[in-house]
A = this chain, B = another copy of it.
Amino acid sequence: MGSTLLSFDEASAIVRMHAEALLRDAAPRTERVSLHQAQGRILAQPLVADRDQPSFPRSTRDGFAVRAAEASLNQPLRIAGSTRAGDPPSGPLPPNSAWEIMTGAAVPEGADAVVMIEHVEVANGTVRLLAPRTIASGDNYVPTGAEAHAGDTILAPGVALTAASIALAAFSGYPELDVYTRPRVAILCTGDEIVPVDQSPAPGQIRNSNGPMLAALVAQAGGDPWLLPTVADTEEALNAAIAQALEADLVLATGGVSAGKYDLVEPALERAGFRFHFTGVRIQPGKPTVFATLQSKNGTKCFWGLPGNPISSAATFLLFAAPVLSALAGRTDIGPRFATARLGKRAKHDPALTRFMPAHCTFGAANQWPTVERLFWQGSGDLATFARSNCFLVLPEEQDVIEAGTEVRILLF
């Protein structure tokens, strides 16, 4: 514990180190889900090819299977047979012949290329590759086993399942998959000023926006959110809430971490025996972010003290807590995931901090570049502006002016 502020890079390196240790040591539970429920889940088993892929030499075109050397003479070849997709492999291909074939069908034995139907002349039961075009051995078909061999591991555990990996699993005969169970993430919102969403705030009070927001961010990052009742600004309430929250794998608390008289989170963590990894980062928003861990008999418990203003909470969750959550979820690619875009308008800032500014990126249709514009905001509590943003624009610590048109980094959410 202490008041030293780390740079964004230093804090990120600490987060990465802890996430990698959790990936090595944590053994998340697994569950089996059907393929149509698997999207976004983390694969917990190797995916193995049950047969060669392709399992037969597969034509990639509609046309004629040929011997390339014969076809390249541009002479008529007798059409000796026909194979459509789904037919068993046929052949062999007789000399000076061609074999009609459809995309996805098995190339007959003896053929070593497929000429495209668009490149031939068909007449009197023969087919001729039109001069001056020639064809090389291997063109327009995929040999048996070229994509994978039977028994190969074609996808390793630890990846988030995308539409593409679901397609591969289906192709390889997996109607169900073992995935890691989502880690449980406790969400503790602190502050005497906070009332529930269905209540009318008295003067000086506000409704709880961080709870639903963090629940959504946790779900999106692969966790199972557990929203606890709002915690009052007293030692007793905070001690009790932290004790309950430690049933989860990861705890997110918001509020109570800045320099004020009633900021009680750090003392409560000290009493509970936590070790602090950082208590502040040179970023805006999100400077008073606290990362602490506790070694318990149930493994490592990770605690994030996020600032109470909602934009600060969201940014620090994405930058620091989400990678730790990914690791607890068994995911090897832990993020955060930055993209780039072109800066729409010149940006200036005081380069003492790395800034993550609510921004809107226009993702170009056709051949335009994605362009990002910083939104004018009233500070890190300005939810109306935050809700109109779709990313954070990164203003690096070392750079005070960024010209319009420059390639900049954005953090998507």
Task: State the A residues within 8 Å of B (CB).
Answer: 8-9, 12-13, 16, 35-36, 39, 47, 49, 51, 53-56, 58, 60, 62, 83-89, 100, 102-106, 117-118, 142, 146-148, 152, 154-155, 162-175, 191-194, 197-198, 200-217, 219-220, 233, 258-263, 308-310, 314, 335-342, 358, 363-367, 369-370, 378-390, 396, 407, 409, 412-413
Contact = CB atoms under 8 A, between A and B. Distances in A.
Contacts of A9: 366-367
A16 B341 contact: no
B102 A260 contact: yes
Contacts of A170: 197, 207-209, 211-213
Contacts of A85: 191-193, 204, 233, 262
Q: Which of A164, A210, A341, A390 has most chain B Cβ within 10 Å?
A: A164
Contacts of A387: 47, 154-155, 162, 164-165, 167-168
A12 B366 contact: yes
B363 A338 contact: yes
B102 A379 contact: no
A102 to B, nearest CB: 5
A35 B208 CA distance: 12
Nearest to A261: B102
Contacts of A152: 384
A48 to B, nearest CB: 11
A163 B337 contact: no
B261 A167 contact: no
A191 B359 CA distance: 46
A399 to B, nearest CB: 10
A313 to B, nearest CB: 9
A201 B54 CA distance: 12
Nearest to A317: B163
A388 to B, nearest CB: 7
B88 A204 contact: yes
A369 B386 contact: no
Contacts of A56: 203-204
7 contacts: A58-B381, A84-B233, A85-B233, A165-B387, A167-B213, A170-B213, A173-B207
A271 to B, nearest CB: 22
B308 A104 contact: yes
A155 B388 contact: yes
A339 B384 contact: no
Nearest to A9: B366
A168 B364 contact: no
Contact of A104 (B193, B335, B338, B365): B193
Nearest to A380: B60
Contact of A204 (B106, B215, B259, B339): B106
A257 to B, nearest CB: 10
A117 B213 contact: no
